[in-house]
Amino acid sequence: MKRYCEDFIYQDLKKKMVFLGGPRQVGKTTLSQSIAKAHYQNWVYLNWDNEENKRAILRKQWLMDSDLVIFDELHKYPRWKQWIKGVYDTKPEWQQYFVTGSARMDVYRKGGDSLLGRYHYWRLHPLTIDELPPGISAKEGFKRLLEVGGFPEPFLLNDLREARRWRRERFDRLLREDIRDLESIRNLQLLSLFVDALRERVGGLITLSNMAADLQISPKTAKNWLMVIEKMYLAFPVYPLVRQVPRAIQKPPKVYFYDNADVIENDGARLENLVATTLLKRLNFIEDYYGHRCSLHYIRDKEGREVDFVTQMNNEIIDLIEVKHKDADISSHLKYYSDKLKPKNTVQLVAELKRSYHQDHILVTTPIEYFQNPPWKI
């Protein structure tokens, strides 16, 4: 299937290098080769994880008439930034470069001159309600996203047992290969327990000092591990909105997983995680394509008034979103913050809702209806 950002990435490739980050097995290699097959005659694919390809990369061995060179997992080379800068600055005019990796390549920058101005950075996300393969209805897609997650392989297979096996194998490879290669973490077993603890706390406030005490690690280590799993596109923190919110709590994040099925079996938590991943995907697209500064937050004040999600664009509040499984009555906290912050949109998303409605400038609707018009459909 054609991915949501494919055409936009191809347009960017005509101007600069493109760096594509995203979780392991989200479809980066498939997308890069799909673009290559559709638009290029003499393209070459080189994967750093392949020993023969690695030697070819280091020796710069590919045909001069190649019009597109794809470098996969290049960020695992400690000096990749300096290397690709040298290649780009001496390349033939007709040659274009596509660099993909299962880590945030915008943070793995160590030493050397900046690549600023030489590339566009894109982030590829799993499938969501607003990006489903042809032939799969929104209702069926929503069900699969909650049960097996949005990564293409388990989503298309739609088998709970196989999805569990796939998830375990992916997680093992992420720990034993990717994190080991990029981070100096001594005890991967404890890191695995840390991630499991986060899986059980999706949607709740994460107090890292308490988790550290439970695992008998330092709070500094817990904070570092959270940064590592964010860099590796395993999970992402959402921090509270502090500005514009009197008596807002200051520090504890919430954590959500890119693979919706990573969330420990809980209908409410998986639904909230699905909304979080869909919102982040949209905000990342707006940043990557339009160049706006976007962020995702939640609200909670010292009186306990809380709203699940707040989206910001260029420091302006765009959406206030509350997520419910069945409750169609509008949240009093949502009403309170809607009146106080006056966002462009105030929405309560209800998974099991018979009929959408407006009340006091608040839209109550289903996730399927709300996410049906994504920003990439322009």
What letter does residue 261 receive in the DSSP assignment? G
Separation of alpha carbons 145 and 248, rounded Å: 33
**Sequential pLDDT tens for the chain (378 residues):** 999 999 999 999 999 999 999 999 999 999 999 999 999 999 999 999 999 999 999 999 999 999 999 999 999 898 999 999 999 999 999 999 999 998 877 654 444 447 888 999 999 999 999 999 999 999 999 999 999 999 999 999 999 999 999 999 998 888 877 787 666 777 888 899 999 999 999 999 999 999 999 999 999 999 999 999 999 999 999 999 988 777 767 779 999 999 999 998 778 999 999 999 999 999 999 999 999 999 999 999 989 999 999 999 999 999 999 999 998 899 999 999 999 999 999 999 999 999 999 998 999 999 999 999 999 986
By residue count, the chain amounts to 378
Q: What is the pLDDT of residue 158?
A: 97
What single letter denotes the amino acid at residue 364?
V
The CATH class for the domain spanning 6-123 reads: alpha beta
Please calculate the CA angle 3-28-93 and round it to the nearest 5 degrees: 95
User: Pick from 260, 47, 244: which is nearest to 148 by CA?
Assistant: 260
Q: What is the pLDDT of residue 172?
A: 86
Residue 277 CA from chain centroid, whole number: 7
Separation of alpha carbons 101 and 123, rounded Å: 10
Please calculate the CA angle 304-308-309 and round it to the nearest 5 degrees: 130
Taking the CB of residue 285, how many other CB atoms lie within 10 A of it? 20
Contact assessment for residue 44 and residue 63, using Cβ atoms and an 8 Å cutoff: yes
The tokens describing 124, both together, are: 């590829």
CA-based torsion, 157, 158, 161, 163: positive or negative: positive
What three-state secondary structure class fits 83? helix
Residues 6+ apart with CB under 8 A from 307: 298, 299, 300, 320, 321, 322, 331, 333, 334, 337
**Segments of the chain assigned to CATH 3.40.50.300:** 6-123
